[in-house]
Structure 1
């Protein structure tokens, strides 16, 4: 396998693109590389146009992910090797998931040397990528919930997945959990201070109490049936091919409770009124879709209770994102804090975890 790992947009040369192309067809000749956009957040995301002599055989619009050039984001994502995890997802797991994902052209990571992921840009085939602050319609939300249920059902109650993908539950994930717990209190305090009136004042003490007891909370949240989850289902990680959704950004993929994806998705992707009106019915749709895909014994009432508890994570994630800075557009970050705080308050989510 040719080395395709690079560290900066300027490294995306014709020679580099040719090494990517050679993994597919050595008769294709690259003649040009044009960078069309660079977005720096949790990763550095680069859109490029690659000119070559066989556009009918290989896409020309590429989407490249490198480690973030923002020091705050790089500091948070480097130790738990999040981009390395996404590289392994595309190399080892993507072919077996039921949800639509971008076609990947190449993906490589090496300990100490970095990681590079090269995907076909979803716009190549007319798909539209979302933005983090988008508010989805009920129809769109229903389609995402159905896709997540099918994805979860594929890996539900299969003990072999722990043996097939041990890297998803190994030392790197343990390190991520340790860092999350160690930094929970200072980051929660800093994020709440920066959020100000975006978060109702009565939630402040509960949020700090949760952060101080985060390890116990995480233990409670993992005491349920495990499956494979995306763990970062905000609107900016969704793309739309006509009316059908697909999922981007698999850096946080892990074993967890399926309803955690639904809690994350609904709390960040719907405006508050839409969520209040439809979250119960969307949870029921999720339960029915699991049953339709062969998962027996689903209790909607228990799902509702677990949904409440799992709302705490998306709220925490958005507050921590704000505290760190440089990981999401600030306006979108503020909007997602408003949405998740409203969900926490509406369903009294902190009381759903025994702390």
Structure 2
């Protein structure tokens, strides 16, 4: 943005991507990976602080460098100690590394972790990133199940608007793909598999017409087709509560493995209906949508008028509902809550009917 200072770009050290936690915390490897951060000083000690294993592993650790007793806190994220199937998700780690190397420096007023190094193996499609440990500086990461208030949601929506407003970046950035279109065409989750998932606990509080895998698959294809004809924005794609952190300065956003191009409503409808309890979303979402549109106009963008925007918003919960309906490798309580909230949004907004699905 004119008159704005660029954010520091991460270094990209030419070292191998570690495949295990032991390799990632090896002092020799960290000395090479953090050489530009340390001024070439070797890592003399490594203390593991916390390990969080979901699909990717996030490890908080502290190091000291040669010539000083000062402790420096970092957080490393990557696919560590995973099986061959999970390792196939490596391209999403490369995508996140590219976000920090290419996108984040162009949006300095959006609050994200400071990434100091990105180790990328483009041929092998694997990557790890090393960030400053925000918790050391007092940040708090929200849990995936943490209920937001409307005011909380507006703070995080404000951060997303800054990303969306930077969508001119998409020109020439073909590496940022239309994820909704890809999801609509994917075949690794068959209709039968999807129906089995929806027949489980995640669909317990949803009516049969919303639990129908056939209707959901058709609606996802219809949404992707309609969305591809609309103005494309750079969107987060997975902005649930677990990907939000809070500092004294306000909210911030993490986890950029689903960075994508798509309509603004995909992000906004997903975010509000994932983070807000259903009864809060039902009462507040239209006001929050107007706030979002005002933020975007304040960034200098022409946005749809309120009623047209509301119609786009009402279609869009299908994206998040589909994403969580096919999810299989996340804790069941998280999967159930998000599928339930987004499914109820689909029902409340009559998203199928708006997309022409009988």
> Shared fold (TM-score greater than 0.5)?
yes
Shift of 1:125: 1.4
Say which structure is richer in helix: 1
1:99 matched to 2:105 = no
Q: Using the alignment, how far apart are the partners of 1:266 and 1:175 within structure 2?
A: 22
Deviation by residue 1:31-66 (Cα, 9 ceiling, x = unmatched): 21122222222312222222335889x972211111
The answer for the alignment partner of 1:319 in structure 2 is 325
Q: Using the alignment, how far apart are the partners of 2:71 and 2:252 within structure 1?
A: 18
Q: Using the alignment, how far apart are the partners of 2:71 and 2:241 within structure 1?
A: 25
**CA 348–174 in structure 1, closer or farther in 2 if over 3 Å, else same:** closer
1:288 to 281, 286, 294: 294
Contact map agreement 1:309 1:350 (CA 8 A) in 2: yes
Q: Structure 1: which 5+ residue stretches go unaligned? A: none
The answer for the alignment partner of 1:86 in structure 2 is 96
Q: Using the alignment, how far apart are the partners of 1:139 and 1:297 within structure 2?
A: 22
Q: TM-score, normalised by structure 1?
A: 0.87
Q: Structure 2: which 5+ residue stretches go unaligned? A: 1-12
The answer for the alignment partner of 2:4 in structure 1 is none
The answer for the alignment partner of 2:171 in structure 1 is 162
**CA 94–4 in structure 1, closer or farther in 2 if over 3 Å, else same:** farther
The answer for the alignment partner of 2:245 in structure 1 is 239
The answer for the alignment partner of 1:21 in structure 2 is 34
Contact map agreement 2:64 2:71 (CA 8 A) in 1: no
Once superposed, what is the RMSD of the aligned Cα atoms? 2.6
The answer for the alignment partner of 2:236 in structure 1 is 230
Q: Using the alignment, how far apart are the partners of 2:209 and 2:286 within structure 1?
A: 23
Q: How does 1:25-36 map to 2 (within 5 A)?
A: 25-36=38-49
The answer for the alignment partner of 2:141 in structure 1 is 129
The answer for the alignment partner of 1:353 in structure 2 is 355
Contact map agreement 1:260 1:310 (CA 8 A) in 2: yes
**CA 10–204 in structure 1, closer or farther in 2 if over 3 Å, else same:** same
**CA 37–186 in structure 1, closer or farther in 2 if over 3 Å, else same:** farther
Contact map agreement 2:317 2:351 (CA 8 A) in 1: yes
Contact map agreement 1:291 1:298 (CA 8 A) in 2: no
Q: How does 1:1-355 map to 2 (within 5 A)?
A: 1-11=13-23, 12-52=25-65, 60-67=72-79, 69=81, 71=83, 74=86, 77-78=89-90, 81-97=91-107, 98-110=109-121, 111-112=123-124, 114-155=126-167, 158=168, 161-163=170-172, 165-169=173-177, 176-177=182-183, 180-181=186-187, 183=189, 185-195=191-201, 197-204=203-210, 206-212=212-218, 214-242=220-248, 244-321=250-327, 324-325=328-329, 328-355=330-357
Q: Using the alignment, how far apart are the partners of 1:205 and 1:265 within structure 2?
A: 21
